[in-house]
C-alpha cells in the first residue's frame, strides 16, 4: 500500500488567491476553505494588488497564476515586493 503525505490543514490563515479562470479559482477557493484557510480572491494581478494594499498585513500567502490578463503573477510579485518585501508568494500555472 502506498504511503500518503499527511493532510495539511490551516489554522484560519488568510490567503490571497489570484486566478483568471473562474472555474479554477472557485475550485481552489473551495479546497482551501475546506482546509481551514480564509480566502480572498482576485481575477488578475491589478485586482490582487488593490486587495493586498488594503489587507496585506493579514495575508499569510499569495497564491498566483503566472499568466493572466492585465497583470501576470511575476509582474504582481515584482510590484508587491517593492513595497512589501516580506510578501510570501506561491506561483501556479496550468
> Tens of pLDDT along 19-36?
999 999 999 999 999 999
53-91 burial code (b ≥16 CB/10 A, e <16): eeebeebebbbbbeebeebbbeebbebbeeeeeebebee
What pLDDT does 8 receive?
Answer: 80
Region of 36 on the Ramachandran plot (φ > 0 left; ψ -120 to 50 alpha; else beta)? left
What pLDDT does 59 receive?
Answer: 98
Quickly name the fold that domain 14-92 has.
Answer: Rossmann fold (3.40.50)
Residue ranges of the chain with per-residue pLDDT less than 50: none
User: Per this entry, what is the length of the chain?
Assistant: 94
What pLDDT does 3 receive?
Answer: 76
What pLDDT does 12 receive?
Answer: 96
Based on its alpha-carbon atoms, the radius of gyration of the chain, rounded to whole angstroms, reads 14
What pLDDT does 1 receive?
Answer: 59
Amino acid at each position: 500500500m502506498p504511503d500518503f503525505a499527511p493532510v495539511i490543514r490551516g489554522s484560519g490563515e488568510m490567503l490571497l488567491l489570484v486566478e483568471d479562470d473562474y472555474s479554477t479559482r472557485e475550485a481552489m477557493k473551495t479546497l482551501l476553505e475546506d482546509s481551514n484557510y480564509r480566502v480572498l480572491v482576485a481575477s488578475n494581478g491589478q485586482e490582487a494588488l488593490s486587495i493586498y494594499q488594503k489587507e496585506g498585513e493579514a495575508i499569510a500567502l499569495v497564491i498566483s497564476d503566472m499568466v493572466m490578463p492585465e497583470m501576470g503573477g511575476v509582474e504582481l510579485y515584482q510590484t508587491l515586493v517593492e513595497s512589501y518585501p516580506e510578501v510570501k508568494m506561491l506561483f501556479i500555472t496550468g
